[in-house]
């Protein structure tokens, strides 16, 4: 019955979130007003919210499951190599069995891209 779990990600400035999710990660804006942007790509979606108060309290780490982590890595590392996470800047096998890499924005929001074995 569940379809999606959609996080709210808080930023001091909404533009910081748009630069990361739209410009670097290739999401598209589905809705935008002064303090909110709904962004989506394939089956992933997020609400970016401008709120300095909440941004100061929470810098989340999110994960996007994918069927082809190598293709995602090639695309995103070419699009925004400066945002590859310094501790996870190549696709590698993790102890829990997945292969993954991560991107980190200038506000320290982290997005992992993960492929589980088939």
> Does a structural domain hold residue 74?
yes
Interior angle at CA 107, CA 105 and CA 111, nearest 5: 40
Domain that holds residue 105: 8-115
Whether 31 maps to a domain, the answer reads yes
Under 8 Å between Cβ of 4 and 40: no
* Counted domains in the chain: 1
CA–CA separation, 80 vs 44, rounded Å? Answer: 19
Whether 32 is in a domain gets the answer yes
**Is 16 inside any structural domain?**
yes
Using DSSP's 3-state secondary structure scheme, residue 25 falls into coil
Q: Report pLDDT for 3.
A: 87
* 106 — pLDDT class (breaks 50, 70, 90): very high
The CATH number given to whatever domain includes residue 91 is 3.10.180.10
How far apart, in Å, do the first and last CA atoms of the chain sit?
Answer: 23
Mean pLDDT of the chain: 97
| Residue 111 within a domain | yes
Q: What is the pTM of this model?
A: 0.93
């Amino acid at each position: 019955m569940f379809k999606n779990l959609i996080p709210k990600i808080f930023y001091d400035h909404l533009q910081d979130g748009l630069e990361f999710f739209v410009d670097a990660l290739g999401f598209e804006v589905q809705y935008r007003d002064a303090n909110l942007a709904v962004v989506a790509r394939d089956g992933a979606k997020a609400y970016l919210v401008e709120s300095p108060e909440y941004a100061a309290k929470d810098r989340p780490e999110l994960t996007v499951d994918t069927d082809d982590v190598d293709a995602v890595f090639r695309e995103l590392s070419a699009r925004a190599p400066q945002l590859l996470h310094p501790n996870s800047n190549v696709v590698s096998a993790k102890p829990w069995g997945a292969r993954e890499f991560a991107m980190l924005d200038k506000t320290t929001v982290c997005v992992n891209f993960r492929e589980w074995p088939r």
